[in-house]
Amino acid sequence: MEHVNCLIIGGGPAGYTAAIYASRAALAPVLYEGNEPGGQLTTTTVVENYPGFPGGVDANQLMAGMREQAVKLGADVRRGTVTSADLGVRPFRLVVDGSAELEADALIIATGATAKYLGLPSESKFRGMGVSACATCDGFFYRRKDVAVVGGGDTACEEATYLAGLCRKVYMIVRRDVLRASEAMQEKVRNTPNIEILWNCNTQEVLGDASGVTGARLIRKNGEVFDINVDGFFLAIGHHPQSDLFSAWVNTDDQGYIITEGATSLTNVEGVFAAGDVQDPRYRQAINAAASGCRAALDAEKYLKK
């Protein structure tokens, strides 16, 4: 069985950054990228808020650069998905792609989170062409345009108020007649004049043409079907952290996010560290994920050299 000193799972900003730091600390890291190398960022186009790129940077190029940097510094970056894990033994035991077994002394979990989508074919068709699950990433492209945000939780309210500062009009598509969001966030939405809440509405179809999204067809609870004209269609109906594989050992919160100790990457299992969106229900930005990958590598180094 292959023995790995420091195993990193996840090919997003957290995983690659952990690999960069772990390589420089001579931890001989092995990183499995999973089936979406580059992570969530690759679902967007241009990243304009990653420091150091005044002209913006293509998301795929940014991730390819992080990957290349990790490889250059000596990380063993591999395609493959960890399909099972036993963190109750030492060294930890893991299986890749259902067959290749390996053991690891330290483990950095950087598996990320996936935004939930409605599951409509038209929504997939226009992903990256007006359909987005990240207002902070993509809102800028809809300046002075009309957009819609689906959801009624804190994220939806936060994204709607953020977008209201950039866009002409923001529709919130809410499936019930109440918002789930905290009172403070609801208040913010109520006090933002260019947000209109469409209560009791579900999306039947995202409308568009060759240039991207042009609108959405909605259905109200009473059966009324109507269209709205928007250029951007933002999903804010929650995220799903990719922690299922580890939750038998590693403590998670009620939504499945891995709980880390204070500002560290330490989990309740000694030698297991978590970084990036899998442990971050709040900020969910590439720069934060990268920073937490750095922390995880420094924590793993300290643990392995103990």
**Residues annotated as catalytic (active site), given as ranges:** 134, 137-138
Measured from the CB atom, is 17 or 285 closer to ligand NDP? 285
φ, ψ for residue 94 (rounded to 5)?
-140, 155
Task: Single out the residue of 156, 198, 290, 300 in contact with ligand NDP (rule: CB under 6 A).
Answer: 156
Interface region with ligand NDP, contact rule CB under 6 A, candidates 23-31, 155-163, 207-215, 245-253: 155-163
Residue 144 beta carbon to ligand NDP: minimum distance, rounded to whole angstroms: 25
- Helices and strands (H, E) in the chain, number of each type: 7, 19
Tokens read off for 80: 């493959």
Q: Which of 93, 127, 145, 180 binds ligand NDP (CB under 6 A)?
A: 180
Question: CB–CB of 278/241 below 8 Å?
Answer: yes
Bond prior to 193 in cis (omega within 30° of 0): no
The two structure tokens encoding residue 280? 């971050």
| 95 backbone dihedrals φ, ψ, rounded to 5° | -125, 135
Please report the beta strands in the chain, taking only residues with DSSP state E, as ranges in sequence order. Answer: 2-9, 29-32, 46-47, 57-58, 76-78, 82-86, 92-96, 100-109, 113-115, 131-132, 146-150, 169-173, 195-198, 201-209, 212-220, 225-229, 232-235, 239-241, 272-274
Rg, Å, the chain Cα set: 21
CB-based contact 304:27 (threshold 8 Å)? yes
What span, in angstroms and rounded, lies between the C-alpha atoms of 77 and 98? 18
Please, which of residues 117-136 interact with ligand NDP by CB under 6 A?
A: 118
d(CA 108, CA 13): 13
- Minimal distance in Å, beta carbon 204 to ligand NDP? 12
Tell me which of 125, 176, 220, 302 binds ligand NDP, using CB under 6 A: 176
Mark residues 207-246: x for contact with ligand NDP by CB under 6 A, - for none. Answer: ------------------------------xx--------
Tell whether residue 150 is a contact of ligand NDP (CB under 6 A): yes
How far is 50 from 140, CA to CA, in rounded Å? 14
By beta-carbon distance, which residue lies closest to ligand NDP?
Answer: 153
Q: Which is nearer to ligand NDP, 105 or 154 (CB)?
A: 154
Tell me how far, at minimum, the Cβ of 177 lies from ligand NDP, in Å.
Answer: 10
| Closest to 12 measured CA to CA, from 290, 298, 297 | 290
Q: Tell whether residue 100 is a contact of ligand NDP (CB under 6 A).
A: no
Part of the chain binding ligand NDP (CB under 6 A), chosen from 78-86, 93-101, 148-156, 211-219: 148-156
| Stretch of 3-11, 79-87, 134-142, 154-162 lying at the interface with ligand NDP (CB under 6 A) | 154-162
Restricting to residues 263-292, name those near ligand NDP by CB under 6 A. 281
With binding defined as CB under 6 A, does residue 260 bind ligand NDP? no
175 belongs to the binding site for ligand NDP (CB under 6 A): yes
Rounded to a whole number of angstroms, the minimum distance from the CB of residue 174 to ligand NDP is 7
Judged by the rule CB under 6 A, the positions of this chain that interact with ligand NDP are 118, 150-156, 158, 175-176, 180, 237-238, 281
